[in-house]
Amino acid sequence: MTNPYFQAYERSLKDPEGFWGEVAEDCHWYKKWDKVLDDSRKPYFYRWFPGGMVNTCYNALDFHVENGRGGQDALIYDSPVTDTIKKFTYIELRDLVAKFAGALSSLGVGKGDRVLIYMPMIPEAAIAMLACARLGAIHSVVFGGFAANELATRINDAKPKVIVSASCGIEVKRVIPYKPLLDGAIEMAKSKPDHCIICQRPMETANLIPGRDLDWNDVMAKAKPHDCVPVASTDPLYILYTSGTTGIPKGVVRDNGGHMVALKWTMKAIYNVDAGDVYWAASDIGWVVGHSYIIYGPLLKGCTTILFEGKPVGTPDAGAFWRIISQHKVKTMFTAPTAFRAIKREDPKAEHMKKYDLSNFKYLFLAGERLDPDTLRWAEKSIGVPVIDHWWQTETGWSIAANCVGLHHFPVKQGSPTKPAPGMDVRAVDPNNNIVKPGEIGALVIKLPLPPGTLPTLWNNDEGFISSYLKEFPGYYKTADAGFIDEDGYVYVMTRTDDVINVAGHRLSTGGMEEILSDHPDVAECAVLGVDDQLKGQVPIGFIVLKAGVTRSQDEIIKEVVKMVRDRIGAIASFKTATVVKRLPKTRSGKILRGTIQKIADNKEFKIPATIDDPVILDEMREALEKIGYAGVRK
């Protein structure tokens, strides 16, 4: 007998309208849709639930209050950097959101207007997002502390009527003033907001510009609660700009109806959480994970969600995650593999974990970058719960492939995020758009139409949407990831398509080499990338970060990892060079900046990414490359 996953997956592909129409019945609609899927503008544009009228905020808050969950915790703010824990019930959160919606309305914000949110991980950020949804306004969250010029490009593109910000953010012990960055961005931008609302934090007071800037507490004191405004299912809920953009930024659009339907469904189907469970996504609201699984997904389902202002290590130690899981009785957690690599590096024997009761903890989900087998094994052994890799993108808004444990828990295969999620018809194709054989590396694509909750287009940029995602492989959405699908239907995401290197005519995955390096017992994390070579076209070089407490000779460790790659892949890989570094350059979301490292190695000019965690690391990388014979970068 077929299991629930196969039943759901098969129906989602053969009868998408029947499948998603049934799922949508679980949400509140002011007016039901005219049809489930509008494909009248195919092959590029598809819309879900046209004719339907909804409100995402109503489904996330008011619905639960009216159905008996008003006294349940909706949001727990846990901030070790300010030594604060604050809980909000569904009634309390709804009332605060209704008041802030009233404050925005009094400033002229209405349906379809944009509000840019530039805030740290504080409750006011969640309140602002939900208040926009309540009004039918479109929010665009920009990661707090983003550089002024990058913020300015987003202001120009979204043209917000109001910007909501805070006086500062906190990175471990460092206070980062936001207001100078915001003022600089507005000065650079051609589009100017009518008003800025600033949440003043105790550790930094921002200077307010009279007439333009307003204090959060002042506007809340004067505000009258605002009811939910019904909007079309196809109306935008938010714009989220993809990281590392240059020139015209790519604003991913998310609609109200499809997003609401898909995210509520994923909470049980993928993460196996029910209303009343405590769910924690250790991410940031500036990223898609924060949108989908700190704010909207858990609240749509009626869960308790955690808003964490801190880091996996250093706030105060490598036991921060275990303390939160224990204290708040977290059932399911979602974070990035890099967070666990940081914990593993600081506390390789998981000594901190022994201090806490983790009996309520059932699942750990990881995503955002490749989950290397060593980190997977370490987490499984240390925690003793299923550790589940899943794969998705800013553009998709939820999983492309996952072990959908709420439907059926498949055996884990190291290196694979398991099988495509229902609605995601994933294929591996060659450059001519032909499906490749099982086990053969190709470009990973998704057959159109994409399911609900995924991007319908880019903000004011239909042509960019087509050229970026749909033109190269007609009939498919291009993920820009490369990998393969095995005989059992498991998906393997090996690398970005840009990171498949060509060594003397052989296409090789740097991700496969990284898996081998990460297997070495002394390696905490690593990166492999291809650099230009006159003879072979490209050759791979490796960067390894050692675990805390390793005192062995670095030269010996390098010899060992080179031999491991040669033994497992063969001489064909031409992997002969590696170097030990203190740390790897990453975005704030934890993704390694492989493209930037590659430009440094190839002596090409590059732009310092706006999303980089610490630009000083790039100087360290240049020094490391020079030591192994690669030129630095033009300054």
Residues of the chain with pLDDT under 50: 244-247, 632-635
pLDDT in tens, 402-418: 999 999 999 999 889 99
Phi-psi region of 128 (alpha: psi -120 to 50; beta: other; left: phi over 0): alpha
- Could you say which DSSP state residue 11 is in? H
Which of 588, 567, 509, 514 is CA-nearest to residue 545? Answer: 514
pLDDT in tens, 249-268: 789 999 999 999 999 999 99
Rounded Cα distance, 538 and 560, in Å = 22
Q: Strand runs (DSSP E) across 318-398, as ranges?
A: 332-335, 363-366, 387-389, 391-392
DSSP H helices in 415-482? 462-465
The number of angstroms, rounded, from the C-alpha of 592 to the middle of its chain's C-alpha atoms is 14
Rounded Cα distance, 80 and 373, in Å = 30
Q: Which residues contact 342 (CB under 8 A, 6 or more apart)?
A: 311, 312, 313, 318
Q: Retrieve residue 349's tokens.
A: 């024997």
- Could you say which DSSP state residue 355 is in? G
Contact (CB, 8 A) for 276 and 72 = yes
Contact (CB, 8 A) for 178 and 151 = no
Q: Strand runs (DSSP E) across 459-517, as ranges?
A: 476-485, 491-496, 500-503, 506-509
For 72-90, the DSSP string reads SEEEEEEETTTTEEEEEEH
Which of 254, 286, 184 is CA-nearest to residue 587? Answer: 286
> What pLDDT is attached to residue 523?
93
**Which domains can be identified in the chain, with CATH numbers?**
4-310+390-483 (3.40.50.12780), 504-627 (3.30.300.30)
> What pLDDT is attached to residue 244?
39
CA distances from 134 to 60, 227, 436, 456 (A): 10, 7, 46, 21
Contact (CB, 8 A) for 170 and 203 = yes
pLDDT in tens, 58-72: 999 999 999 999 999
Q: Which residues contact 467 (CB under 8 A, 6 or more apart)?
A: none
Q: Retrieve residue 337's tokens.
A: 């593999």
Q: Give the torsion through C-alpha atoms of 187, 124, 290, 312, to 10 deg.
A: 100
Name the strand (E) or helix (H) holding 232. Answer: strand 231-232
How many C-alpha atoms does 23 have within 13 Å on its Cβ side?
31
Rounded Cα distance, 210 and 196, in Å = 10
Please compute Rg for the chain using Cα positions: 24
The number of angstroms, rounded, from the C-alpha of 229 to the middle of its chain's C-alpha atoms is 28
> What pLDDT is attached to residue 245?
35
Which of 518, 452, 439, 448 is CA-nearest to residue 484? Answer: 439
pTM for this prediction: 0.85
Neighbours of 17 (CB within 10 A): 12
> What pLDDT is attached to residue 618?
82
Which of 191, 182, 207, 250 is CA-nearest to residue 455? Answer: 250
Which of 302, 227, 303, 301 is CA-nearest to residue 263? Answer: 301
Which of 56, 57, 62, 94 is CA-nearest to residue 75? Answer: 94
Q: Retrieve residue 455's tokens.
A: 């991007």
> What pLDDT is attached to residue 539?
82
> What pLDDT is attached to residue 458?
96
Beta strands 506-509 and 500-503, pairing class? antiparallel
Q: Which residues contact 121 (CB under 8 A, 6 or more apart)?
A: 79, 144, 169, 284, 285, 307, 308, 309
Burial class of residue 587, CB neighbours in 10 A (0-12, 13-18, 19+) = buried
Beta strands 577-580 and 523-533, pairing class? unpaired
> What pLDDT is attached to residue 534?
66
Rounded Cα distance, 189 and 311, in Å = 32
